Amino acid sequence: MKHFMPVRLCTGEHSVAENAELFQHCGSRCMIVTGKTSAVKSGALDDVAGVLKRCGIPYLVFDEISQNPSVDSCILAGHEAGDFGADFVVGIGGGSALDAAKAAAVFAANGGLDENGFYAKDWDADPLPILLVGTTAGTGSEVTKVSVLTDSKGRKHSIHDDRLFAAAAFGDPRYTMALPQPVTLSTGIDVLSHCAESWFNRKADEVSRAFAVRGIRLLYGPLLAAAEGRALSLEQRGQLYDASILGGLAICGTGTCFPHNVGYYLTERFGIPHGFASARFLPALLSLVREKEPAYTERFFRELDLSEDALLQLVSACLPYQKVRMTRDEIAAALPRWENNNSVRNTCCAVSTAEIQAILETLFTD
């Protein structure tokens, strides 16, 4: 496998303020893409605005990004960036804002591009330079070439392209200190999903496995503490953030497995946050691989120095009770979306549509 991760990553406290030159190198006018609250509450927006002002860079804030951002909102952000004359984009927030910033940079550089052209990668020009400032410890979008958006039909799709890598990313764990417990858990369990799905991926190699194992070992203690309702220190928040970056590096090389794509369906249908939706299927992933590739599963837990029961208990502790019920007919109607799906095919052992059907029926029918 080839690893290509060209992002300049700056981590640690005050990493934005201490690296102002990276903003100056990207351009002279800036569009900030973010949501309504996290950038403000975390202090990240103030830090970025302070750097831009000191550098004499005019900026415009687009704060209309919601969870599971739509392609339409990214088109709007791109148009506003173009009208403003922005020559680079800064995304501030969790995975939704960071993914939206990547897409907005494409639309800003390609006036008139529509949803179909975006997904077909029919881009006449490369995206504007992108800087990313994370405010959650979750998606690892800071270091990936992936943007996950919701299309005009309400379906979540991911797009992968080397041109979506950020020029630089900033990871200051202070920005995650004010996260409420549900967000800490949903983003933290997303990191666990990234790491586990990367490990059990057909494309995994020793480099990606090293990222995945180290990510899980870093996050286990802080995430369990958060699930038990304990307040996290800045050091623990830093561990979660570092784990999220490691998870991003892992899936950057391998992609995800079936829990992520099947999880999209739960988010679309029932509004379940992405991290919780994917994690619902982690026990099924472990069960299937243990049955079909027992030696590979044993190696995973041996390198983690953790038992399968301990990992499953962490998943259970993080997941809130969410009553989801589907009829067998509803499940059958959804199955075509997972036929020949890349994430399903990437699972290290063969996973059939019938097996996905059985998993869904076990979890969500009476």
Looking at residue 322, what is its pLDDT?
82
Encode pLDDT of 240-262 as tens digits.
Answer: 999 999 999 999 999 999 999 99
Please check the confidence at residue 168 and state whether its pLDDT lies above 90: yes
Sort 84 into a burial class: Cβ within 10 Å, 0-12 / 13-18 / 19+.
middle
The pLDDT tens digits for 46-95 are 999 999 999 999 999 999 999 999 999 999 999 999 999 999 999 999 99
Identify which of 197, 239, 236, 199 has the alpha carbon closest to the alpha carbon of residue 218. 239
pLDDT exceeds 90 at position 195:
yes
Q: Residue 245 contacts by C-beta under 8 Å, 6 or more apart in sequence?
A: 9, 11, 140, 142, 143, 171
Q: How far apart are CA 320 and CA 159, in angstroms?
A: 29
Answer yes or no: is pLDDT of 166 > 80.
Answer: yes
Percent of the chain with pLDDT over 70: 100
Report the pLDDT value the prediction gives residue 294, as an integer from 0 to 100. 95
Q: What pLDDT, on the 0 to 100 scale, is given for residue 191?
A: 98
pTM of the shown model: 0.95
Domain annotation for the chain: domains and CATH numbers? 8-175 (3.40.50.1970), 179-364 (1.20.1090.10)
Other C-beta atoms within 10 Å of 14: how many? 12
Q: What's the mean pLDDT in 307-327?
A: 94
Structure tokens at 322: 């969410």
* 100-125 confidence digits (pLDDT tens): 999 999 999 999 999 999 999 999 99
Asked whether 175 and 42 are in contact (CB, 8 A), the reply is yes
Is the pLDDT confidence value at 34 over 90?
yes
Please, what is the average pLDDT of the chain? 96
Average pLDDT, stretch 117-137? 97
From CA 256, how far away is CA 277, in angstroms rounded? 14
- pLDDT value, residue 323: 85
Per-residue pLDDT at 310 exceeds 90: yes
What pLDDT sits at residue 2? 80
Residue 348 in this model has a pLDDT that exceeds 80: yes
Contact (CB, 8 A) for 241 and 11? yes
Q: What is the per-residue pLDDT for 270?
A: 95
116-136: average pLDDT? 97
Q: Do 91 and 102 form a contact (C-beta atoms < 8 A)?
A: yes
CA distance 329 to 56: 59
- Alpha-carbon span 215 to 247, nearest angstrom: 6
Q: What phi, psi does 151 have (nearest 5°)?
A: -80, 180
pLDDT of residue 100: 98
The predicted structure's pLDDT at residue 321: 84
Whole-angstrom distance, CA of residue 58 vs CA of residue 28: 7
Collapsing DSSP states into helix, strand and coil, what is residue 275?
helix
Extract the tokens encoding 226: 């958060």
